Amino acid sequence: MTTAAPRRLKTWSITGDTRRRPTEYEAVTGRFHYHFNRKPAPFDLDPDSAINRWYLKHREGSPLQADDWEGFRDPAALNYRRYIALQHDREVYAEGVVDHYEALDHDARLDPTWVETLNRIYVPTRYAFHVLQITSLYVGQLAPSAYITNAAFFQAADELRALQWIAYRAKSLSLTHGTQLANTEATRRIWESDEAWQPARETLERLLLAYDWGEAFTALNLVVKPALDALFKEAFVDLATANRDGLTAALLQESRVDTTRSQVWSAALTRYALAANPANRAVIDDWVAKWRPLADRGVDGLAATFPDPAASRRRVADSVAAFDTQWAGVT
């Protein structure tokens, strides 16, 4: 009696026993986090080393659990090549918008009162977006699957892109309205001491201390970022438009496209987690309940400087509620 030879795989085993060829996205993303759930230590170091203990506590030990995180897919299916191509085209568009308004000598026509609003509220936003960037990188670094990591890292790149254009606006405004607009120390003083910014700054600094990867994702992508994005990329856009600042409005609106993509993958990951483990519902709900008041206070402090604070808060609340329906089915 002879033993039958094992059947040769016809396609890559990375996709499981599906008898299909992996997509480019899957080939460069699937099962890259060999260290997740690796015992006795994620990395080839002393099991008691700091990095192993950190990952075991804040990733493997997270209350947010699923049997297989490799089943998640970013709806945009972005890899590095596709992301760079996508954002190259977007940057070409943004640069065209800037060229258009600069040719019109746009900033020289702005009301000085509005410029002061930009100096107080818009220019310091780069500090806030930098925290969103850092936290996105942390979520990606700790995520249990590269399908999550890559989406979070591309989100971090989006944040850098947004704050880069804010820095550009600070410099361009300073050429017409005074060098203080491009003075980093002056802007930092506003960020650290202006009463309008302090609730948001507290929230964002607390966000940097959310070490559990699941809590960091929930706080950032389901609560804090949607609220701040709605405030600046929707309510503040309306305010800029009303003050005939088409350039600021256009750049923020352009960045809103990145926000939409972030919310799509964030909602998809949350739905995946809820379907994979019903116990995740209570975990996520508890985190949302913890972070929502902090995000609301941050929005309230900044909205108080708007001409109609109540309307601005409603705009943010409506936007956040619409996003909640994408991942939680809230009506």
Residue 14 carries which DSSP code?
Answer: G
Q: Please give the Cα distance from 218 to 323 (Å, whole number).
A: 13
Asked if residue 126 lies in contact with residue 134, where contact means CB atoms within 8 angstroms, the answer is: no
Q: 124, 126, 123, 122: which is closest to 134 by C-alpha? A: 126
Helix (H, G, I), strand (E, B) or coil at 283: helix
Q: Identify the DSSP state of 9.
A: P
Burial 162-191 (b: 16+ CB within 10 A, else e): bbebbeebbebbbeebeeebbeeebbeebb
| Residue-by-residue DSSP string for 181-197 | GG-HHHHHHHHHH-TTT
Please state, in angstroms and rounded to a whole number, the distance separating the CA atoms of residues 109 and 228: 28
The predicted-structure confidence for 89-146, as pLDDT tens digits, reads as follows 999 999 999 999 999 999 999 999 999 999 999 999 999 999 999 999 999 999 999 9
Share of the chain above pLDDT 70, in %: 94
Write down the pLDDT at residue 2.
61
Q: Which residue has the tokens 């802007």?
A: 187
The pLDDT of residue 329 is 72
Structure tokens at 80: 């590095």
Instruction: Give Cβ neighbours of residue 265 (< 8 Å, ≥ 6 apart).
Output: 74, 75, 76, 151, 155
Per-residue pLDDT reduced to its tens digit, 16-41: 656 678 899 999 999 999 999 998 89
DSSP string over 123-156: TTHHHHHHHHHHHHHHHHHH-SSHHHHHHHHHHH
Is the pLDDT at 331 greater than 50? The verdict is no
Structural domains of the chain, with CATH: 76-326 (1.10.620.20)
User: Which amino acid is located at 193 in the chain?
Assistant: S
Average pLDDT, the chain: 95
Beta carbons within 8 Å of 284's beta carbon, 6+ residues apart: 64, 214, 218, 222, 270, 273, 274
**Letter for the amino acid at 214?**
G
**225 and 237 Cβ atoms separated by less than 8 Å:** no
Task: Flag whether pLDDT at 81 surpasses 50.
Answer: yes
Q: How many CB atoms lie within 10 A of CB 215?
A: 23
Question: How high is the pLDDT of residue 17?
Answer: 57
Nearest to 78 by CA among 141, 157, 21, 151: 151
Measured in whole angstroms, the distance separating CA 316 from the mean position of its chain's CA atoms is 16
Give the tokens for residue 213: 């990867």
pTM: 0.93
Q: What is the pLDDT of residues 304-327, one digit of tens each?
A: 999 999 999 999 999 999 999 999
Expressed in angstroms, the distance from the first to the final Cα of the chain is 65
Cβ count within 10 A of residue 149 = 19
